[in-house]
Each structure stands twice: as structure tokens, then as C-alpha cells.
Amino acid sequence: MTRLPLVVQEPTPPRTPLVARASASLRGFLRSESGTAALALAGVLVAVCWANSPWSGAYHDVLATRVALTVGDTTLGMSVHGWVNDGLMTLFFFVVGLEVRRELALGELTDRRRIVVPLVAGVLGATVPALLYLAVNGRSPEAVGWGAVIGTDTAFVLGALAIVGPRLSTQLRLFLLTMSVIDDIIAVSVIGIAYSGHIDLRALALAVVFLAALGGLARAGVWQGAPYLVVLGALWAATVASGLHTSIAGMLAGLLVSAAAPRRDAVEGAARLVRAFRQSPMASVGRSAQRGIVRAVPVNERLQGLLQPWASYLVVPVFALANAGVELRGGALADAVASPVTWGVVLGLVVGKLVGITTGTALAVRLGLGRLPRGVGPGSVVGGAALSGIGFTISLLVVGLAFDDPRVRDDAAIGVLAAGVLATALGALAFRLAAVLLGERSADLPRELAADVDPARDHIRGPADARVTLVEYLDFECPFCAKATGVAKELRLHFGDDLRHVVRHLPLPDVHPHAALAAVAAEAAARQGRFWEMHDLLFTRQDRLGREHLVGYAGELGLDVDAFVVDLDDPTVADRVREDVLSAEAGGARGTPTFFVGRVRHEGPHDAASLIAALERQGVAHGTTAP
């Protein structure tokens, strides 16, 4: 369940002091799924080796060392192990909550139709493992450990997917991430409800007050991150005093930090402040520019950017170090092999996750409740379900909470580690069989331009035989499409006649209700040879794209208004827009702006510098050949 950002094509977060001094290649590796999982695995290996070395006593002594925080007459003290599990992990779950809230507001979970299949898969993926564990241990006191098999370690799963899965697996990764949201909610709820101690109602009421304060900060539009972190610290202390496990407090706190897309006016304001600093490089002006840039980035995203590296590079490896030190000497491994707890954990994670997720996915699709992401086949689902048997973080956390007997705890931990190895091997086998038997060698959207550029049909700026080609799918109501951000102008200034810029339509009516009609208006203007004039004008009037406005713009441009009105209602004009939408979908475009550099869909940032670099690479690779 170790988390990575749920957004597939987000810019790389800013460097933090944790990795700032590392080489560029090392930083890139650490930011990958494989690198994050490797750090956690390193923590596991160090813990196991230390716990079974001649210095094992030091390992347990360090974890048992009591550390106290005293403020006046109030003292909060716990062992090092407790500070890790109840302290650092609160930060971890806070980041999880931030990510879930962002996905609900802006990501895949905004479209509730896409939730159903991963929802059913996630619920059965938690239920079936618990039932299998109870089938083995249900009549013994060790039945309390059923929560150890319900969670999936997302970072380990994605790391394993990068190694043993298809080379292109963005869509499968997205499906697994969406399902992990459901997994997180279930797992954290189980820990908070089933594995908390005696509840102090007064402290719990105080924790509720701090939760309300977090919600109040969000509703008041507080943009600084520090107040949220201060209230989080107070919430954590109250939750510890209440006896409720801090994981649920961290998750709820993250969910209360509102997420929103950057506002266009805030971005433009920040740009004006930066220009002012360039013209007058004074400290006060620089501070204003810095503050403006910070305010333009929503607080949810800024807190994720600040805390995610700490959660991935510090919290999870330290948690692994503190919880994976199982004793393997003196026949402990043989005892674990004979223990029902070990086999209950292995059976629940390896078999239960595979059966539960695969069955839930197939059931939801068969009943017509939803469909798999485009590009993801049944074989890829089986492979992803098998990898989901890597429990690790939540599993080890529950093991520590559920069992008081050190021997039983070690048996369960060995089961968790063994399940991770077996699940990875089973996933690799499933992906291999899917490739050989079903031809599923990719689990990604198409990446190539579906319809070649046609000078007789397409809207093109630049020579037809230009050295490089940029195809842009845009939405006239999208605030960050190329014309609105000035990217297209910068590209033309840089390349001159070496660039042909092709514009196609991809209106998004679910989020931009006037975009489809605006696209039709541009095509109606094109019938009178004025597409680009209407294109430029629409981007300056994005808040006024109603029918009456569009007719007014036709008059403003000197078009034949009567003919323009007729064309607005002409089905063949709407069909022209629809053809662009179909070609966008066939090429894997799902949002705006989407760019194709030559024939290949551009991924990652679409600022002018990034697109210039991509276009230069295309020019080097393809010379003057245009698609």
C-alpha cells in the first residue's frame, strides 16, 4: 500500500533535501516506481540481516528505546518502534488522503463511471483474502490477524509491474492505482476500527475539533501549507491520546485538504509578478513573485509535492527497517512453515488477491457495470491481480497491532515477506502467458497519430513541407491549451518556417459545456476561410462562448452572419468536429491539450521548452519527412 502519486503524467516534483545532492541519474531512479520500491526492499533486507546477526540484540534494543516529548507538565512518550508506527506512518497516511482527495476532485475518480469496476475489484480483493485467512485460522485466537491480508502495497506493486509487466503499461497502472484508492479506504478503516485500543472520549472529541479545523482552513481558502501541518500535528497528538490508531486520523486529515485545478487568473497573476521581477530584480519584488507562484499551485498539490518524497524515501524504508526484522534462526523458519498463521497470510495475499480482484473485475464487466480501461486486457488484469498480493506496509502494520506473541508475530511477518516473493513470481508468469497466449504485449493507450495530416482538410499554420510537425488537439474552453498559454506563439518564433502546427478539435463537454459549439463555430468560420481568425478570437473570449456570443464574433470578423448561422446548425460541420474527436481517441488522446510530435503522442509537460526539445528530437530523427 506504499503510495506513489496517483497522477500518471504529472511533472516531476521539486527536489527535496533528501535527494538534492544525488546525481541526476540516481534522482531519476529514486523517483521511479522501481526506485521507491527498491528503497523499501533495502529496508527489509537490512532489518532481516540485522535481526539475524550477532548484533540482533542492538536491533531490538534500539526499537525498544523510549523517546519522550515533554511540553510543560505534559509528556508524550513511546518506544522508537511506536514513534515509527504511530508517528511517521501518520504522515504516510496523510499523503494517502491527499492523493485520494485529489483523485476524487480532479483525477480518474471524477468520472464515477470509471470507478465501478475497480470498486468491485477492490472490495472483493479485500474480502476474499480475509475469508481465506479465516478459513485457516478462524477457530483459533490468531483469527484476529485477518486484517493483515486485506491491503496492497501500491509502491511495491508498481515497482514489480515496471520490472515484470508489459513494457508499456500506463493504463494497467492507472487501473491498479484507482483500485488502490478503494483498498486504502478499506484498509485504513479496518485499522482504525478493529485495531484501536481503549477509546478516551474526551481526547477523541478534541481530535474531531481539530479535524473540523482542517476543514475550516480549506473552506476559508487558506493557501499556506504551514497551518495545515500545525493542525495535523495537534490532531495526531489528540488521536494518540484517544487510543484510536493514528492511521485513520492521517487519512481523514488528507481527505479534508481540498483539491482544485490551478485557476487561470492565479497563473496569469504569477506570470505578471515574474515579469515584474525580471524588469526590477529587487528582493521585495522577488518575494512577491515567489508568493504568487506558490499561491497559483493548489495547497493539496503543494503539500503532496512537499511530503511525498519524505513518505517514499524516508517513512517507508524506516518502517520496513522497524517491522521486517523477523528472527529466522533456531528453527524459526521451520516453525513458520508449520504455522497456520503463516499459511493463512500467504494464502490470503497470494491466492485471495488473485481470485478476488480477477473475479470482481470479470463480474463487474460481465454485468455491464463498467468496462476495463482501453488497452487493458483480461491477461493484464490477472497479472496485476497477482502482483496485488504484495501486502507489505499495511500487512506488517496490522501484524504488529494484532499479535502480542513475538513468535506468532514473526510467523505472520514471514508469511507477508514470502507472499511478496510468490506474488511477484506469479505476476511475472501471468504476464508472460498473457503475451504468448493472448497477444497482450502492452497495457497502454495507443501512442501514434491515428489520422495522417491532410493539408486539404486540416488547419495548418506553417509550410506543408516543414521540417517538424506538431499536431494539437484542443478545446476552446480549456484554459491551458496552446493558444491561451502562448506556447504556440513561442514555438513559431523558435522554429519559424521549420514548423507546421496542426490544430484539431477535442471538445470535452463533461467539463466544458460550450466547447463543442465553439468547435463547430470555428469550422463554420473555416467555410468562409477565416478559421484562424475565429480560433484566435475564441481563445480571448473563453468565458463567453454561448451561441449568441459566437454569432456576434462572426459579425465582428466580418463574416456572412446568415451563412455562419446556417453552418452552426449544419450536421456536416458537426461531423467534421466529430471526426477529429474520433481520431483523437484512436490516438490515445484523453484530455486537452494533447500534442503529437510528428506521429508520436507527447507525454509529460507541455510547456514551450519541453515541446521545443521534443520537436528538435523529431527533426533530428526524421529530417524533413512529415507525416
Query: Of 94, 112, 116, which is closest to residue 103 (Cα–Cα)?
Result: 112
Answer yes or no: do 434 and 464 share one domain: no
Question: Does some domain include residue 447?
Answer: no
Residue 556 lies in a domain: yes
Q: Is the dihedral of CA 95, 100, 102, 107 positive or negative?
A: positive
102 within some domain: yes
CATH number of the domain at 488, please. Answer: 3.40.30.10
Cell of 240: 494518540
Amino acid of residue 109: L
Residues composing the chain: 627
330 with 401, same domain: the answer is yes
Q: Do 423 and 465 belong together in one domain?
A: no
pLDDT at position 111, please?
A: 66
In a domain, 127, yes or no: yes
Same domain, residue pair 310 and 405: yes
The end-to-end CA distance of the chain, in Å, is 44
- Residue 107's pLDDT is 65
Q: What is the C-alpha separation between 335 and 343, in angstroms, rounded?
A: 11
pLDDT at residue 16, rounded to an integer: 40
Residue type, 15: R
Cβ neighbours of residue 72 under 8 Å, at least 6 residues apart? none
DSSP secondary structure letter of residue 603: -
Closest CA relative to residue 4, chosen from 157, 229, 116, 190: 157
- Structural domain of residue 570, as residue ranges? 459-622
User: Across the strands, what pairs with 614?
Assistant: none
Give the CA count within 13 Å in the CB-facing half-sphere of 133: 29
DSSP category for residue 305:
H
Torsion of CA 491, 494, 496, 498, to 10 degrees: -80
Q: How many independent structural domains does the chain possess?
A: 2
> Is there a contact between 360 and 124 (Cβ–Cβ < 8 Å)?
yes
- Domain assignment present for 269: no
C-alpha cell at position 187: 484498509
Same domain, yes or no, for 36 and 123?
yes
Spatial contact of 580 and 504, defined as CB atoms under 8 Å apart: yes
Is there a single domain that holds both residue 415 and residue 538? no
Question: Looking at the structure, do residues 560 and 478 belong to the same domain, yes or no?
Answer: yes
Domain assignment present for residue 465? The answer is yes
Largest CA distance in the chain: 92
- Asked if the peptide bond before residue 54 counts as cis, ω within 30 degrees of 0, the response is no
Are 392 and 516 members of one domain?
no
In this predicted model, what pLDDT tens digit does every residue of 249-301 receive, in sequence order? Answer: 888 898 898 887 777 667 677 777 777 777 778 887 778 777 777 777 888 88
Residue 475 is predicted with a pLDDT of: 93
Q: Is 493 exposed, middle or buried (0-12, 13-18, 19+ CB in 10 A)?
A: exposed
Q: For residue 288, is it within any domain?
A: no
Confidence at residue 112, expressed as pLDDT on a 0 to 100 scale: 64
Beta bridge partners of 501: 461, 470
Is the same domain home to 501 and 392? no
Whether residue 80 is found in the same domain as residue 31: yes
The amino acid occupying position 173 is R
Determine how many CB atoms are found less than 10 A away from the CB of residue 10: 14
Task: Check residue 71 and give left, alpha or beta (phi > 0: left; psi -120 to 50: alpha).
Answer: beta
Is 217 among the domain residues? no
Instruction: Give every residue of the chain whose pLDDT is below 70, as ranges.
Output: 1-35, 107-112, 264-265, 267, 482-485, 620-627
Condensed to tens digits (0 to 9), the pLDDT of residues 24-54 reads 444 444 455 566 778 888 888 998 899 889 9
Are 477 and 511 found together in one domain?
Answer: yes
CATH number of the domain to which 89 belongs: 1.20.1530.10
Q: Are 432 and 463 contained in the same domain?
A: no
Residue 398, H or E segment: helix 393-402
Question: How many CB atoms lie under 10 A from the CB of residue 428?
Answer: 17
On the 0-12 / 13-18 / 19+ scale of CB atoms within 10 A, 456 is: exposed
